[in-house]
Amino acid sequence: MDERFFRNITTQQLRRVVFTRVPELTEALYGHIVHHNTNPKPFIWTKTARDILQKVIRPAAS
C-alpha cells in the first residue's frame, strides 16, 4: 500500500516539477495529502493472501 501511495504522489504531484527549495517540495507533498484525504476511498483487496503468495512463490519454484 505504501508503494501505491507514493506512486500516486509521484505521478500526480511531483512528475515534471522542479522544486528549488525544500519548503516548496514540503508544501506540494502536504497539499497532495490534504487533497487526497478530502475524499478518502478505502482500498479493497480483490485477491486473498493465499492467491498473492502463490503468485509470488510460483516463479521462485521454476
45 compared with 24, residue with greater pLDDT: 24
**Residue range 32-54: mean pLDDT, rounded:** 88
- Please, which pLDDT band fits residue 22 given cuts at 50, 70 and 90? very high
Confidence of residue 1 (pLDDT cuts 50, 70, 90): confident
Is the backbone of residue 42 left (phi > 0), alpha (psi -120 to 50) or beta?
Answer: beta
Residues 15-33, mean pLDDT to the nearest whole number: 91
Per the structure, the count of domains in the chain is 1
pLDDT at 62: 57
Task: State which residues form the domain around 31.
Answer: 2-61
2-9 and 22-38 helices, crossing angle to 10°: 120
